[in-house]
Amino acid sequence: MSVPTDLASLTQSELYQLNQNLLEEAAQKRPLMSEIQPLSVLRAEYEGAPGFVSKIDWLCTQGWLGLRSVLPGIFVLPLTRSPGGRWVMAIVSTDE
């Protein structure tokens, strides 16, 4: 897909379509929402950033077990500490 160099020249409709095309292209390469992975996966990825690793370690000591990747490079901690969060995670985790 060719992307124009001057995005300011595009209409709102053209920008929307370009955004949708990029989103669909990304979804074909990697799911937009991954399975829940252990926090150790994120910790290993950021091993060279001690400040961030210490925050991950703190989450582990607080009972957090995993994370879910949404979109490339964006991680979300499952909301399992509250009843509402557990309900949302139960719905998201079903096979239906």
- On whether both 79 and 62 belong to a single domain, the answer is yes
For the segment 52-58, the average pLDDT, to the nearest whole number, is: 91
Considering its fold, how many domains does the chain have in total? 2
Same domain (yes/no): 20, 45? no
Segment 6-39, tens digit of pLDDT? 888 888 999 999 888 887 887 777 666 777 888 8
Percent of the chain with pLDDT over 90: 14
Q: Do 45 and 74 touch, CB atoms closer than 8 A?
A: no
Looking at the fold, whether 59 and 42 belong to one and the same domain comes out as yes
Same domain, 3 and 36: no
3-class state of residue 23 by DSSP = helix
Least confident of 61-65, 78-82, 88-92: 78-82
Residues 2, 44 share a domain? no
Domain that holds residue 15: 1-30
Residues 52 and 40 in one domain: yes
